[in-house]
Amino acid sequence: MKTRKDFEKEQKKLKRKDLQETLKCLKAEKAKLYEIAEKWWYGKDLGLRDKEEFYHRRLFVKNLEAKKLTYLRDNSSSEYVHYLGRAVSTEAKAWRDAREKKRQK
């Protein structure tokens, strides 16, 4: 018979595995999202289908980010705070780099 402690340990493993899958998916989706955004940023005219895909991917990425943040918030507050600071600076850096590339062209 399982004890409560065994059950909690098992649940924690499942949540961790789910987080790892979420992070893999998040990385891939962000790469595709930035690829579409870069085309758009450089003035390439996107069709309606590409614009819809961009908005759907952006929403999906936001949902994955929320799932990740929820996990971090629930399990370790110091990692959560560190992640928030890093995420904001990384996002800002990505847009700055994109602007610099556009200026250089």
Q: What is the pLDDT of residues 59-71, one digit of tens each?
A: 888 877 777 777 7
pTM exceeds cut of 0.85? no
pLDDT tens for each residue of 27-60: 888 888 888 777 777 767 777 777 787 788 888 8
> HEC profile for the chain?
CCCHHHHHHHHHHHHHHHHHHHHHHHHHHHHHHHHHHHHHHCCCCCCHHHHHHHHHHHHHHHHHHHHHHHHHHHHCHHHHHHHHHHHHHHHHHHHHHHHHHHHHC
Task: Determine the structural domain holding residue 32 and report its residue range.
Answer: 4-104
The pLDDT value recorded for residue 21 is 80
Q: What is the mean pLDDT of residues 11-24?
A: 77
Provide the number of structural domains found in the chain.
Answer: 1
The pLDDT value recorded for residue 84 is 59
